[in-house]
Amino acid sequence: MWVGKVVGTLVATPKDDSLTGCKLLIVQPSALGLKGRTSPIVAVDTIGAGTGESVLVVDGSSARHATGRPTAAVDAAIVGIIDSIEINKDLLEE
């Protein structure tokens, strides 16, 4: 699970049938997100997130199960909208 910010939406009219009815959002991993990853990721929205919101994202088989479609062509899914984050900076690794 990782943290990111929704930076946009994606519309793909022709797509795999397993994605029919799925809302696709573009998520930018945050500094708390995937280590070394800076490129935005397309994720299926399972929670009703919107542009500008901080979100929790799962990937791999967890993402497919989060959509309720375990055989879907999904690699990342938004599973939560973050209200707040509290971090003890003294405990962060550099």
Q: What is the pLDDT averaged over residues 16-39?
A: 84
Determine the pLDDT at residue 82.
Answer: 97
Pairing assessment for the beta strands 76-81 and 41-45 based on DSSP bridges:
parallel
Cα separation of the two ends of the chain: 20
Determine the pLDDT at residue 34.
Answer: 60
Determine the pLDDT at residue 90.
Answer: 85
**Fold for the domain defined by 2-83:** OB fold (Dihydrolipoamide Acetyltransferase, E2P) (2.40.50)
Residue 83 has pLDDT above 60, yes or no: yes
Judge contact between 26 and 42, C-beta under 8 A: yes
CA atoms of 87 and 61, how far apart (whole Å): 28
